[in-house]
Amino acid sequence: MSIPGAGVHRRDFLDILSRHGASGLEGDVAQAIASLFSKYSPDVHIDRLGNVIAHVCASDTATPVELRPRVLLTAHMDEIALMVTEITDGGFLRVTETGGFDARTLVGQEVVVHGKEPIVGIVGSTPPHLSSAKDRSHAATLADLYIDVAMKQTRVEEFVQIGDRVTVRRSPLSLQNDRISAKAADNRSSIAILLECLASLQELKHPVELHVAATVQEEFGMVGARTVAHHLQPDIAIAADVTFGALPGQAPHESFRLGYGATISYGPRIHRRVFERLRDTAVQLDIPYQIEVLNNATGTEVDVLQVVGNGIAVGLVGIPLRYMHTAVETVDYADIALCGRLLANTVASFDHAFVEELSCY
Amino acid sequence: MLLKSLTEAFGPSGFEDDVRNVIRTELRETVDHMETDVLGNLFVQKLASQDNEQRHQLRVMLDAHMDEVGLMIVHIEDNGLLKFQPIGGVDSRILLGKTVIIGKQRVPGVIGFKPFHLQSREENQKVPKIEDLYIDIGVDTRQAAEALVARGTPVVFTTAFEFIGDRAMKAKSFDDRIGCAVLVEVLKQSVPLTVHGVFAVQEEIGLRGAEVAGYRVQPDIAIALEGTVCSDGVGTPSHRQATILGAGPALTVQDGRTIADRRFLDFVISVAEKHDIPYQLRRVKAGSNDFGAIHQTREGVIGGGISVPVRYIHAPSQIASLDDFENTVRLVRAVLTEIAAGGFQR
What is the mean predicted confidence (pLDDT) over A313-341?
Answer: 97
A250 and A328: one domain? yes
Radius of gyration of chain A (CA): 21
Element (H or E) spanning A339, and its range? helix A333-349
Radius of gyration of chain B (CA): 21
What is the Cα B282 distance to its own chain's centre?
A: 16
Where do the DSSP E strands lie in chain A? 43-46, 52-56, 70-76, 81-87, 93-98, 110-114, 118-123, 147-148, 165-168, 173-174, 179-182, 209-215, 236-240, 243-244, 262-266, 289-293, 313-318, 320-321, 329-332
Is position A173 within any domain? no
A213 and A353: one domain? yes
Is position A343 within any domain? yes
H helix count then E strand count, chain A: 11, 19
Give the C-alpha separation, B128 to B126, whole Å.
6
Burial A59-88 (b: 16+ CB within 10 A, else e): eeeebeeeebbbbbbbbbbbbbbbbbeebe
DSSP secondary structure of A140-188 = P-GGG--EE-SS-HHHHHHH--TT-EEEE----EE-STTEEEETTHHHH
Q: Does B311 touch chain A (CB under 8 A)?
A: yes
pLDDT tens digits along A119-130: 999 999 888 888
| Whether pLDDT at A224 is above 70 | yes
Element (H or E) spanning A32, and its range? helix A27-37
The whole domain housing A269 covers 10-79+183-357
Of A168, A198, A223, the residue at which a domain comes to its end is A168
Sign (positive/negative) of CA torsion A322, A328, A330, A336?
A: positive
ipTM score here?
Answer: 0.90
Record: contact B158-A173, CB cut-off 8 A = yes
Sheet holding A236-240, edge to edge: A43-46, A52-56, A209-215, A70-76, A236-240, A313-318, A262-266, A289-293
Of A108, A137, A250, the CB nearest to B316: A108
pLDDT of A4: 41
Tell me which amino acid residue A302 is.
V
Record: contact B93-A104, CB cut-off 8 A = yes
A310 and A326: one domain? yes
Record: contact B165-A150, CB cut-off 8 A = yes
Give the C-alpha separation, B137 to B124, whole Å.
25
- Residue B234's alpha-carbon distances to A64, A146, A249, A334, B320, in angstroms, are 67, 7, 36, 45, 17
pLDDT tens digits along A94-135: 999 987 899 999 999 999 999 999 999 999 988 888 888 888
Give the C-alpha separation, B265 to B194, whole Å.
21
Q: Does B147 touch chain A (CB under 8 A)?
A: no
Chain B, window 278-297: residues with a beta carbon less than 8 angstroms from a chain A beta carbon: 284, 286-287
Tell me which amino acid residue A39 is.
K
Is position A4 within any domain? no
Of B119, B144, B284, the CB nearest to A130: B284
Q: Encode chain B (346 residues) as per-residue pLDDT tens digits.
A: 999 999 999 999 999 999 999 999 999 999 999 999 999 999 999 999 876 555 557 999 999 999 999 999 999 999 999 999 999 999 999 999 999 999 999 999 999 998 888 888 888 889 999 999 999 999 999 999 999 999 999 999 999 999 999 999 999 999 999 999 999 999 999 999 999 999 999 999 999 999 999 999 999 999 999 999 998 878 787 777 889 999 999 999 999 898 989 999 999 999 999 999 999 999 888 889 999 999 999 999 999 999 999 999 999 999 999 999 999 999 999 999 999 999 998 7
A125 and A252: one domain? no
Do residues A72 and A229 touch, judged by C-beta distance below 8 A?
A: yes
Is position A140 within any domain? yes
Of A102, A149, A175, the CB nearest to B124: A102
A270 and A317: one domain? yes
Fold designation for B2-68+172-340: Aminopeptidase (3.40.630)
Is position A176 within any domain? no
CATH number of B70-157: 2.40.30.40
Number of domains within chain A: 2
Closest residue of chain B to A177, computed from CA coordinates = B138
Q: Does B158 touch chain A (CB under 8 A)?
A: yes
A74 and A89: one domain? no
Catalytic residues of B: 203
pLDDT of B53: 56
pLDDT tens digits along A270-285: 999 999 999 999 999 9
Q: Let me know the angle formed at the C-alpha of A230 by A224 and A236, rounded to the nearest 5 degrees.
A: 95
Do residues A289 and A262 touch, judged by C-beta distance below 8 A?
A: yes
Burial A213-238 (b: 16+ CB within 10 A, else e): bbbbbbbbebbbbbbbbebbebbbbb
Record: contact B284-A129, CB cut-off 8 A = yes
Kindly list the residues from chain A whose CB atom is less than 8 angstroms away from the CB atom of residue B119. Answer: 102
Q: Closest Cα to residue A94, out of A82, A103, A85?
A: A85
| CATH code of the domain covering residue A104 | 2.40.30.40
Kindly list the residues from chain B whose CB atom is less than 8 angstroms away from the CB atom of residue A149. Answer: 164-165
Give the C-alpha separation, B139 to A91, whole Å.
43
Give the C-alpha separation, A79 to A183, whole Å.
8
DSSP label of B104? T
pLDDT of B54: 56
Bridge partners for A82 per DSSP:
A97, A166
Element (H or E) spanning B101, and its range? strand B98-102
pLDDT of B302: 95
pLDDT of A226: 95
Q: Closest Cα to residue A336, out of A5, A15, A37?
A: A5
Record: contact B242-A130, CB cut-off 8 A = yes
Do residues A332 and A261 touch, judged by C-beta distance below 8 A?
A: no
A191 and A136: one domain? no
> Which alpha helices (H) appear in chain B, and where do they start and end?
2-8, 17-27, 121-124, 142-146, 174-188, 208-217, 262-274, 291-294, 322-340
What is the mean predicted confidence (pLDDT) over A175-194?
Answer: 97
Element (H or E) spanning B281, and its range? strand B280-281
Contacts of B20 (CB under 8 A, 6+ apart): B11, B36, B40, B42, B66, B199
For residue A5, name the pLDDT band (cuts at 50, 70, 90): very low
A206 and A224: one domain? yes
Boundaries of every domain in chain B: 2-68+172-340, 70-157
Closest residue of chain A to B241, computed from CA coordinates = A130
Kindly list the residues from chain B whose CB atom is less than 8 angstroms away from the CB atom of residue A102. Answer: 96, 113, 116, 119, 124
User: By three-state DSSP, how is residue A225 classified?
Assistant: helix
Closest residue of chain B to A154, computed from CA coordinates = B166
DSSP secondary structure of B295-331 = TTSTT--EEEEEEEEEETTTSSSEEEEHHHHHHHHHH
Q: Closest Cα to residue B94, out of B140, B130, B147, B43?
A: B130
